[in-house]
């Protein structure tokens, strides 16, 4: 009886789904961070702020002062 | 942590190819390799729409999953990049990619494939920022200069938006709600986070 239970447990375990989106290891060279360049000198907050501000320039409702939402 | 994404607004794209040209010029992309291109449906018919397509820097990138040499990585900003020194040009990523983003330069006679080339979100690659090697292999690193991808910044109608998902979601939402249509967007939550309904996104007023 005990053997049957153990076998049943093992069989049920085989039905479990392996995670499909597990992060794969990266085998290449390490990249330097974007904010490590001369422009930001390692200041991550400044880098993120600059990019967010730059992205906002794409919103012409704001640029023209015609924003309904801002 | 930012999640850098592209959105192409099909209601605004006028198929001018400015984005593709900007990309080619910025990175000196070789002949036969198109990191960005225009796709038009119903060409010449009423209801014709165009979108600009390149690597979409997927949240769960299939190219990363299938690469046999694990040459792909994701930056802190969610930009999918790869190491050309490791790439063997097998083409698995091309078959896995739903956007046809990976490109292969013809490296010699008999259709021999070179190392994969794709949109880098203007973020260079695994070389020293702004180095000659980085430019030669991956193109210019605009992100490290605090700039957005050249294609989006060049877009005359601002159909192509680039930036942090939260910011461009807000911009797109303002447009859509102003137009008064397109509230439910299939797959939005997977790509950009938040709700699948635009009215429930943060940012612009619905």
* Exposed/middle/buried for residue B83 (C-beta within 10 Å: 0-12, 13-18, 19+): buried
Query: How many folded domains does chain B comprise?
Result: 1
For chain A, what is the mean pLDDT?
Answer: 79
Give the start-to-end residue ranges of the domains of chain A. Answer: 33-70
Indicate whether B78 belongs to any domain.
Answer: yes
Q: Spell out, as residue ranges, where chain A has pLDDT lower than 50.
A: 69-70
**What CATH number should be reported for the domain holding residue B144?**
3.30.70.20
Indicate whether B166 belongs to any domain.
Answer: no
Indicate whether B131 belongs to any domain.
Answer: yes
Indicate whether B72 belongs to any domain.
Answer: yes
Indicate whether B200 belongs to any domain.
Answer: no
Distance from A14 to chain B by nearest Cα, in Å? 22
Interface contact B143-A34, CB threshold 8 A: yes
Beta bridge partners of B141: B123
Entry pTM: 0.82
A17 phi/psi in degrees, rounded to 5? -90, 130
As averages over each run of 10 residues, the pLDDT of chain B (206 residues) reads 88 94 95 94 90 94 94 94 95 95 84 89 95 95 96 96 93 83 68 75 58
Q: What was the pLDDT predicted at B195? A: 76
Q: What was the pLDDT predicted at A22? A: 57
Q: What was the pLDDT predicted at B204? A: 54
Residue A24 contacts B, CB cutoff 8 Å: yes
Residue A28 contacts B, CB cutoff 8 Å: yes
Q: What was the pLDDT predicted at B188? A: 72
Residue A56 contacts B, CB cutoff 8 Å: yes
Q: What was the pLDDT predicted at B70? A: 95
* Exposed/middle/buried for residue B100 (C-beta within 10 Å: 0-12, 13-18, 19+): middle
- CA neighbor of B4 nearest in space, from B66, B59, B50: B59
The residue range of the domain holding B147 is 4-153
Interface contact B123-A34, CB threshold 8 A: yes
Indicate whether B204 belongs to any domain.
Answer: no
Indicate whether B187 belongs to any domain.
Answer: no
Give the CA distances from residue B24 to residues A22, A34, B138, in Å, rounded to whole numbers and listed in that order.
34, 22, 12
B145 phi/psi in degrees, rounded to 5? -95, 0
- CA neighbor of B74 nearest in space, from A26, A19, A50, A21: A26
H-run or E-run covering B189: helix B188-192
ipTM for the predicted complex comes to: 0.80
Pairwise CA distance, residues B206 & A50, whole Å: 27
């Amino acid at each position: 009886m005990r053997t049957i239970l153990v076998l049943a447990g093992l069989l049920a375990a085989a039905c479990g789904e392996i995670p499909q989106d597990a992060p794969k290891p990266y085998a290449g060279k390490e990249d330097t961070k974007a904010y490590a360049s001369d422009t930001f000198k390692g200041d991550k907050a400044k880098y993120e702020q600059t990019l967010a501000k730059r992205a906002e320039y794409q919103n012409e409702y704001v640029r023209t002062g015609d924003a309904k939402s801002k | 942590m930012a999640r850098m994404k592209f959105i192409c607004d099909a209601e605004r794209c006028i198929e001018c190819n400015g984005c593709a040209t900007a990309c080619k010029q910025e990175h000196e992309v070789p002949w036969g390799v198109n990191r960005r291109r225009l796709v038009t449906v119903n060409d010449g018919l009423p209801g014709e729409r165009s979108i600009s397509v390149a690597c979409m820097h997927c949240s769960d990138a299939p190219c990363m999953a299938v690469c046999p040499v694990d040459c792909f990585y994701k930056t802190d900003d969610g930009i999918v990049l790869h190491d050309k020194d490791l790439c063997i040009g097998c083409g698995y990523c091309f078959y896995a990619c739903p956007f046809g983003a990976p490109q292969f330069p013809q490296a010699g006679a008999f259709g021999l494939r070179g190392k994969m080339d794709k949109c880098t979100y203007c973020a260079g690659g695994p070389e020293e920022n702004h180095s000659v090697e980085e430019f030669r292999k991956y193109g210019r690193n605009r992100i490290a200069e605090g700039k957005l991808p050249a294609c989006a910044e060049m877009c005359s109608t601002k159909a192509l938006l680039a930036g942090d998902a939260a910011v461009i979601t807000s911009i797109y939402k303002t447009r859509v709600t102003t137009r008064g249509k397109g509230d439910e967007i299939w797959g939005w939550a997977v790509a950009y986070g938040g709700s699948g309904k635009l009215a429930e996104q943060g940012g612009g007023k619905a």
